[in-house]
Amino acid sequence: MKAIGFFGGTFAPIHNGHLRLAIELKEALGLDVVHVTPSARPPHRARPGISAERRLDWVRLAVGDEPGLFVDDRELRRATQGLLSYTCDSLADLKREQPDSRLFLLLGDDAANQLPSWHRWRELFELAHVVVVERPGQRSEPGAELADFLRGRKVDAACALHESPHGLWLPITVPPLAISSTRIRSLLQAGRSVRGLVPEPVIRSLTPEDVRALTIEEAAIHD
């Protein structure tokens, strides 16, 4: 079966930490491809100040021809119908398109621990395995509701995910890159360089309007 990773985010902007994480997870989990999927209308936060179309442009520039990474625009296509970016809908779409595939939802530990607040979150486990990237030296601590749900679902090796169609939870640690979108927006706000943090094609594409919108985004997050 084809093994497909689903890696979503607002990507405002996408940076080298995102790219490296996608590549590390692809290799560590034995995935055939990772779908890098910008969220158009994220339900858990205010709509990003940067348009979804511009963020998709950046993701395409950043991914380029990197083997095993695929830019997935399905949530932007859904937004044209006025729909929010619910992960369960995206995974269901992907499963309909590739019914013989095995899906892996790739999450950071902060997002994973908030799963009970997600739309139809239990359905995620009917569609995919959930892989949680933990910070080095820190173990993920799900809340009581999620911890109860996960009894019997936790595994400690990627090979177990390939032996089951869906429904398992794997915590994993990968070598981190200390890069964040927040830091990048703060540097741009201060007029400083983001070289080495953001892919060069994305840096070259930034317009004064992009920089202004990103700094407004950062100010709004911290208001």
Question: 104 and 188, same structural domain?
Answer: no
Question: 59 and 146, same structural domain?
Answer: yes
Question: 108 and 204, same structural domain?
Answer: no
Question: 186 and 167, same structural domain?
Answer: no
Question: 197 and 105, same structural domain?
Answer: no
Question: 87 and 197, same structural domain?
Answer: no
Question: 150 and 106, same structural domain?
Answer: yes
Of all residues in the chain, the percent with pLDDT exceeding 90 is 79
Instruction: Check whether 84 has a pLDDT greater than 60.
Output: yes
Question: 155 and 211, same structural domain?
Answer: no
> Could you tell me if 85 and 78 are in contact, meaning their C-beta atoms sit under 8 angstroms apart?
yes
Averaged pLDDT of the chain = 92
The total domain count for the chain is 2
Written as one string, the DSSP assignment of 41-105 is S-TTSPPPSS-HHHHHHHHHHHHTT-TTEEE--HHHHHHTTT----HHHHHHHHHHH-TTEEEEE
Question: 72 and 47, same structural domain?
Answer: yes
* DSSP H stretches of helix in the chain: 16-29, 52-63, 74-79, 87-97, 109-113, 121-127, 144-149, 158-161, 181-189, 200-205, 208-222
Give the span between the Cα atoms of 222 and 109, in whole angstroms: 22
What's the gap between Cα 223 and its chain centre?
A: 25
Domain containing residue 201: 181-222
Stretch 145-151: mean pLDDT: 94
Q: Residue with structure tokens 């995102």?
A: 18
Give the span between the Cα atoms of 214 and 185, in whole angstroms: 6
pLDDT tens column, 23-37? 999 999 999 999 999
Choose the final residue of a domain: 172, 190, 213: 172
